[in-house]
Structure 1
Amino acid sequence: MREPISMTNHQLLNPQDHGQLRLLPRAGVEPHFVQIVPSEFVAAAIACPILFSKDPATGAFYAGAVLGLKPEEGALKSIEERGCFEPLSLQRDGFFISGERIAIDRANPRFSETEGELLFDDAQPSTSLRRMQRVLGQLHEGIEQTAVLVRDFMNLKLLESIDVSLSFDDGERLTLQGLYTVSRDSLRELEDVDVLRLFRSGHLQLAYTIAGSINQLATLAHVRNRKLAMS
């Protein structure tokens, strides 16, 4: 996952400048829609709908896990509520890839000079930093895998738009737009040769995982109703 480096708060990570820098647990408001990659689909589908959206800047599709139904109102706030699923894109909060280097957002509250786990141990990556290196590597590889998956789905016309309308006990009605899923009807109509190719690539399992995860929207609505009743 390559991202531009700003000269303001983003810095290339190195032991000379950041030898005493420490990492704190991630905190703050949970996003309601989080980008995920194919290696996460099975774990995500246990508790979350998996839907596609389009990057407003490029128009490219990306996959995301729906953690909540409104911005700044994550229905599945805790990792326990998400079936112990912690998206890679949340784990890497504050870290980025710039070319062949790792960069950090120095203004991110995860970084401290007094508390948390050191990023370097005798100028070498600490256990925490090595874990983050693996996360970034998985994300970078997964973004490329997603592009291949989306291209496969689009060539076979498997993606379809979906508008979600949900009503809640407090009278509010929410509509989610600009989202896409895998069409079960289109899956059933595939030619045998395409089914076999999807199966061998691993994309058939992912397609059914995505299509089945839409049932988790009802779970999200139930959790939100329960929390509304308790507030």
Structure 2
Amino acid sequence: MESLQLLNNVAHAGLRMRAPDHGSGPFVRIVVGEILAAAAACPILFSKHAETGRFYLGALTGLKPGEHLVDSPDDRPAFRALEADREGFFTAEENIAFDPDHPRFASGDGDPLFDAEGKPTLPLRVVQQALSRLVAGTEATEALITALLAHRLIEPIDIVLSFDDGETVRLDGLYTVSLDNLDDLDDAAVMRLFRSGHLRLAYAIAGSLQHISLMARRRNDRLGRFG
């Protein structure tokens, strides 16, 4: 992005940012370290980068853009992706860059990024931690995907949902873990996946599909209340 600027506590001493929303969903990229937390709250699926055709891992937080269907008891999000926390910020080698045109910075209100001494405030430290975990988790996530592909464990999934208002929602270009192929693996392959920690994650991803029907029911309930 041409508009990115390197973050500087002098040049941007007065910069403020708004709290992030639920992320630029409804399919938000995640890394390995987020799988178990995400699987307890929403479906985890694979998709492909449009430019490269390479697989990446994501959490499905809604069924349509602008929609958030992850259950949030007590007004606390059951799962928040690191991508949501770092909205508007990017890594630039050893530095942090930000997009001044991003909605988080557009209004000029919100929380300051730096305190009076030029040190990062808590909201900025949250961004720093999110970026750090995303960078640190990239290699492990690629290793998981490579292992699953090597054993033919990633397969396409068709998601077609019908709702009480007559609308049909179809989600294309998504993939999941093939339990049939997982069951057919020989003992040596299963042991390799187990030792690497990939087996547990594969089952977590497959098990997270149960949330699709729960999200559909949640969406129907909303239609009934607000329709």
> Residue in 2 aligned with 1:65?
59
What CA deviation, in whole Å up to 9, does each residue of 1:120-167 have, x standing for no partner? 231232333222211101011222221111100000110011111111
SS at match of 2:165: coil
> Residue in 1 aligned with 2:169?
174
> Residue in 2 aligned with 1:222?
217
CA contact (8 A) 1:30 1:74 kept: no
Higher normalized strand content (fraction of residues): 1
Residue 42 (structure 1) shift: 1.0
Q: % of aligned pairs identical?
A: 47
Match of 2:183 among 169, 181, 188: 188
The 2-side partners of 1:83 and 1:200 are apart by 32
- TM-score, normalising length from structure 2? 0.91
Residue 114 (structure 1) shift: 6.0
Q: Which runs of 5+ in 2 are unaligned?
A: none
> Residue in 1 aligned with 2:84?
90
In the alignment, structure 1 residue 13 sits paired with structure 2 residue 28: no
Give the count of matched residue pairs: 225
SS at match of 1:160: strand
The 2-side partners of 1:68 and 1:113 are apart by 26
> Residue in 1 aligned with 2:155?
160
> Residue in 2 aligned with 1:151?
146
| 4+ residue segments displaced more than 6 Å | none
C-alpha distance 28-219 of structure 1, shift in aligned 2 (>3 A): closer
Q: Which runs of 5+ in 1 are unaligned?
A: none
The 1-side partners of 2:108 and 2:151 are apart by 54
What CA deviation, in whole Å up to 9, does each residue of 1:90-140 have, x standing for no partner? 111111111221001112232379643322231232333222211101011
C-alpha distance 132-215 of structure 1, shift in aligned 2 (>3 A): same
What CA deviation, in whole Å up to 9, does each residue of 1:50-107 have, x standing for no partner? 0000000111111111111122333338586885211000111111111221001112
RMSD: 2.2
CA contact (8 A) 2:30 2:83 kept: yes
Match of 1:101 among 95, 102, 106: 95
